[in-house]
A = this chain, B = another copy of it.
Amino acid sequence: MNSDLIQRLLASPVSFLADSGPDEDIAISSRIRLARNVRDLPFPCAAGPQEMEQVCQLVRAAARSSGTLGCPDCLEFRIGELSATDREILLERRLASRELIGNLAGGCLLVKGDGSCSVMVNEEDQLRIQVLAPGFQLEKVWNKINALDNELGKELAYAFDEQLGYLTCCPTNVGTGMRASVMLHLPGLVMTGKINATIHGINKLNLAVRGIFGEGSENQGNLFQVSNQITLGDNEEHIIEELSKVIRQLINHEKAARIHLMEHDQASLLDHVGRSYGILRHSYKLSAKEALNCLSGLRTGVDLGLFNNVDIHRVNQMFLTIHPAHLQKSAGRNLSAAERDVFRASYCRQLLAKGS
């Protein structure tokens, strides 16, 4: 049953990567999540299976009327009933966190079929509400998640303190409980050697820079997730406004870096793009790390207008689908690390052969 739902998920495109969005040449996607808990029930870290089940029931009942989440037709996953590969699929699709899929006893996920909205239940907090959208559009994402939060809040008695705001398991989330982030593709700043100074500057503004899979993940494929750090003592709209200003600046810096490269070191830029395409199109063994770096090069080439037949949204999705669980689902069986490298190369060759 749960496995069928995974198949339904895999059959549909990842909307926040497959659809067009503002500034999509540099901004891959925008994401906001809200941490929420229900009054009088313990945080998951202190809860037993029955209490976690109780939270699940409450959230499911509340979600039933949510038009934003697409319930009652939304997909519902019980983490404990999923295979290890299926749990990784949720992680690779950015629908679940490492923490959620580790909670076999009580973790649960409600997700709209296209992956744009979801609620993780019994993650670090009882609810982690998430909305994702393509490109750079934090305001729109905010309006949507705010609506979803209101829908759920009508049914659930959120743990809320007049002075502090929303109460959360970890003090760093208390207040708005909000983390907003934009995934940026910054090959120009990497190639011009400006990325370290840029990250240093962002950190000084109390913003965080992370890799493709969030906290603790390494930067790969020149993808950087920039998010707010502060949740307390400020309102959501203002936090988003301040973050958006910085994102806008980063986008402009990246554009300038690309122009600089085209004007002053075109051969190196084209070489990076060409080799990336050549390896994706012709190799027979490809690690995930190399694939991500090559996809970054290919995406840069698409942005520069060098590949008319390669669709940028297909490249976006490949950033996720070249990961182990997705590959194993494509192959229809478990693959060793060595087999995955061979399958990944074949997968990339075939996808690009279609397009060019």
Contacts and interface: CB of A to CB of B under 8 A. Distances in A.
Interface of A: 267-268, 270-271, 274-275, 277-279, 281-285, 341-342, 345
Contacts of A277: 278, 282
A278 B342 CA distance: 17
Contact of A282 (B267, B278, B285): B278
This chain's copy number in the assembly: 2
Contacts of A284: 267-268, 270-271, 274
22 contacts: A267-B284, A267-B285, A267-B341, A267-B342, A267-B345, A268-B284, A268-B285, A271-B283, A271-B284, A271-B285, A271-B345, A274-B282, A274-B283, A274-B284, A275-B278, A275-B279, A277-B278, A278-B279, A278-B281, A278-B282, A278-B283, A281-B282
A284 B261 CA distance: 14
Give the secondary structure class of A's interface. Answer: helix
Nearest to A279: B278
Contacts of A345: 267, 271
Contacts of A270: 284
A267 B342 CA distance: 7
Nearest to A269: B284
Nearest to A266: B284
A339 to B, nearest CB: 9
A17 to B, nearest CB: 25
Contacts of A268: 284-285
